[in-house]
């Protein structure tokens, strides 16, 4: 199966959290681990330099046996995006429960796309 794409936007996050690469990487690692997904190779990570108007954000990409996880932080918008494509069945990840515990106060918006649905 092509599986599902879970598309998450997290807003109103503390800027220090979005600038903290180790904390974000640990969040991505914990999502992958809690779903029992298999990471292939090393996750790719990039720390962006500070901008004129804000501290720098981060991007992390996890190549999975079951597709991929992508995470981008946007401190200038106090936002984080997470995309998880998993080519297998199973329930969606409990984003709305887990993310405020991991990131502190925030609002979480989730869309789920079924990729096996006929156009």
* Contacts with a copy of itself, residue ranges (CB under 8 A): 1-2, 5, 7, 9, 40-41, 44, 46, 48, 59, 61, 63, 65, 67-68, 70, 72, 74, 77, 79, 81, 83, 85, 87, 107, 109, 111, 113, 115, 119
Quick one: 41 or 89, whose CB is closer to a copy of itself? 41
CB 111, min distance to a copy of itself, A: 7
Judged by CB, which is closer to a copy of itself: 94, or 109?
109
Q: How far is the CB of 5 from a copy of itself (least distance, A)?
A: 6
Q: Residue 84 has which token pair?
A: 């998880």
Residue 59 CB, shortest distance to a copy of itself, in Å, is 6
Residue 103 CB, nearest distance to a copy of itself (Å)? 16
Helix (H), strand (E) at residue 10: strand 4-11
DSSP string, 76-115: GGTEEEEEEEESS--PPP-HHHHHHHHHSS-EEEEEEEET
91-95 own/partner pairs: CB under 8 Å, 24+ apart: 92/4, 92/6, 93/6, 93/31, 93/34, 93/35, 95/6, 95/8
């Amino acid at each position: 199966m092509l599986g599902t794409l879970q598309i998450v936007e997290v807003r109103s996050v503390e800027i220090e959290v979005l600038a903290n690469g180790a904390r974000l990487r640990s969040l991505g690692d914990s999502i992958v681990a809690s779903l029992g997904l298999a990471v292939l190779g090393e996750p790719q990570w990039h720390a962006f330099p500070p901008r004129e108007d804000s501290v720098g954000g981060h991007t992390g990409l996890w190549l999975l046996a079951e597709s991929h996880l992508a995470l981008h932080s946007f401190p200038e918008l106090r936002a984080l995006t997470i995309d998880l494509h998993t080519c297998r069945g199973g329930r969606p990840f409990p984003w709305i429960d887990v993310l405020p515990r991991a990131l502190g106060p925030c609002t979480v918006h989730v869309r789920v796309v079924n990729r096996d649905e006929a156009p």
